[in-house]
Amino acid sequence: MSQTRRICLWSGPRNVSTAVMYAFAQRDDTQIVDEPLYAHYLTVSGAMHPGREDVLAVQDADGARVVETVILGPCDRPVLFIKQMAHHMLDLDVQFLAQTQNAFLIRDPREMLPSLINQVPNPDLGSTGLGWQSDLHRRLVTRGHRPVVLDARELLLDPAGVLKTACEGLDIGFDDVMLSWPPGPIAEDGIWARHWYHNVHKSTGFGLYTKKTDVFPEHLEDLLDTCRPHYDYLYEFAIRAA
């Protein structure tokens, strides 16, 4: 394999993962790939996400082939940053994770779930990604890996400090250019961007953290209870704001 450092960011939806991708896109040494396993997930799961047919029309739905040709495929830059949704790993062999640097991005489900229902009206644990994230993390730790864990709140409270520590954990240098970007889309955005990326397209950097004060939807309480232990487990490993 080449000397390229291949970083997989395993996130769930509504976790500021696109902002993290935009941060890495500012680096001259980094190539960006946006959710290469999305078509695989839509095909295997049958999930009816916004823009489903558009995704299936433009992206390879063979997950194993995507692993070989994209995630482990040719890259002419020192760093390959791949934004991944953890639940997109459905029915895939995880052995390739031994050849990637792995990071996790989590968000308190009390803040994430009310946002998720705008795109996925009837979410379950699988569609949050949290169960997949905790399982993948445990597998990696068991095999001797030390994956980086980012928490959305901690990141927004201290973008420079948290990203610097994350870069150290990923064995790459931190660059201040990661803290801001021009408004609008980037060329690497997936075709689904128009359904999911409205806020980041209006941004020029990481926004200030604002605690949600809206009443939590009652119909999501059971799912919140299901998500909580997975989030709490991962948060124990998360980089804290200064």
pLDDT tens digits for range 131-153: 999 999 999 999 999 999 999 99
Per the DSSP assignment, residues forming a β-bridge with 85 are 11
- Which structural domain range is residue 98 located in? 5-235
Q: Would residue 242 count as lying in a domain?
A: no
- pLDDT tens readout for residues 6-46: 999 999 988 999 999 999 999 999 999 999 999 999 999 99
Q: Does the residue 46 lie in any domain?
A: yes
Tell me the average pLDDT across 214-238: 97
Model pLDDT for residues 161-205, shown as the tens digit of each residue: 999 999 999 999 999 999 999 999 999 999 999 988 999 999 999
Tell me if 241 is assigned to some domain. no
**Residue 192: φ, ψ to 5°:** -80, 0
Total domains in the fold of the chain:
1
14, 91, 101, 165, 199 from 112: Cα distances, Å: 6, 25, 25, 24, 15
Is residue 240 included in any domain, yes or no?
A: no
pTM assigned to the model? 0.95
Burial of 219 (0-12, 13-18, 19+ CB in 10 A): exposed
Domain of 43, CATH number, reads: 3.40.50.300
Q: Which of 13-17, 54-58, 102-106 has the lowest mean pLDDT?
A: 13-17
Instruction: Please list, in sequence order, all residues whose beta carbon lies within 8 angstroms of the beta carbon of residue 121, skipping any fewer than 6 positions away.
Output: none
